[in-house]
Amino acid sequence: MNIVILDGYSLNPGDMSWDEINALGNVTVYDRTAPEDVLTRAAGADAVLTNKVVITAEMMDRLPTLRYIGVLATGYNVVDVREAGRRGIVVTNIPAYSTASVAQMVFAHLLSLVNRVEHYTAEVRGGRWASNPDFCFWDSPVTELYGKTFGIVGLGNIGMAVARIALAMGMKVAAVTSKREDELPEGIVAVDIDELFARADVVSLHCPLTDATRHMVDRRRLGLMKSSAILINTGRGPLVDECALAEALNAGHIAGAGIDVLSIEPPAADNPLLSARNCHVTPHIAWASTEARARLMTTAAANLRAFAAGRTINNVAEAPADK
């Protein structure tokens, strides 16, 4: 089997091995692939692995040997899965590999915003504590999370993991979810989305990106939030109207934001969130712990191994409607 990995660097920048994939055929790994190079590099491939490189119907038409596309992520919007299904091309994804890591990043952002560890570390290193007349100092409120309301939009694997951590910290949890009330664990209450934005001290986004959720955090919903509230987005960048969020932060309409995803990645230098007040931005790394990437690698190999054995797991391609 000829296997081509189009953009392997983000998964494996050199700190792990491709051996599990190499054992399955002739493997060519490219760190990155520009759109204009996809057809040349994937020519003759039976299987293509991609993270962010887009595979269109037109590309499939010009890759007659292609029988398998492995997405090295959970989201698979980079592949035309309907066309793949019509052609009998298997498309697999990697579900639930980064749940713990993303949940951890949610609270890394939240604790950074409420405890300001980076700020105080910089102040201490600059000599402010050493020259202070008192045994301690603070120049901003230090906020306790216990008893506060943590709002979650989307109670899938990650949303539920976040809820468990929030409950363990003594927070109240409200969620926007399709789950029935009797399906919710003790301590989680279901609310509608506007009520969640109005009630919550923290709002964390864990829903998929669809036409209905694009810019769900807009100027109107930001206006519902408390001035002391914090927004966390480790889900998808376009869930948030970035200009509206920057305006709300700069005007003090909300207290802060922790953002791991943006609408365009890497962002333009003038993205308003990069300079917004109390906005902490990390470069889409919530998924990227060593442990999560190792799970991703193992599942990617298992998906491909199953395909080679004549069966499929984690297949997301849409079969034709008449079959």
Verify whether residue 206 is a known catalytic residue.
Answer: no
Give the E-state strand segments of 8-142 in sequence order: 26-29, 47-50, 68-71, 90-92
Burial 6-44 (b: 16+ CB within 10 A, else e): bbbebbbeeeeebebbeeeeebebbeebeeeebeebbee
- Give strand pairing partners of 198: none
Of the candidates 144, 183, 265, 291, the residue annotated as catalytic is: 265
Verify whether residue 318 is a known catalytic residue.
Answer: no
Angle at 209 between CA 207 and CA 210, to 5 degrees: 115
Verify whether residue 236 is a known catalytic residue.
Answer: yes
Of the candidates 109, 116, 221, 236, the residue annotated as catalytic is: 236
Dist CA 47 CA 4 (whole Å): 6
Contacts by 79-83 with C-beta closer than 8 Å and gap 24+?
79/50, 79/54, 79/55, 80/55, 80/56, 81/316, 81/317, 81/318, 82/318, 83/56, 83/57
Tokens standing for residue 72:
């090295």
CB 28 within 8 A of CB 50: no
Q: What 8-state DSSP symbol labels residue 155?
A: -
DSSP 3-state of 169:
coil
Dist CA 259 CA 220 (whole Å): 19
- Which residues lie closer than 8 Å to 140 by C-beta, 6 or more apart? 116, 119
Of the candidates 277, 284, 305, 318, the residue annotated as catalytic is: 284
Sheet of strand 68-71: strand arrangement: 26-29, 2-5, 47-50, 68-71, 90-92
Q: Which residue has the tokens 């009330």?
A: 181
Which residues carry out catalysis?
236, 265, 284
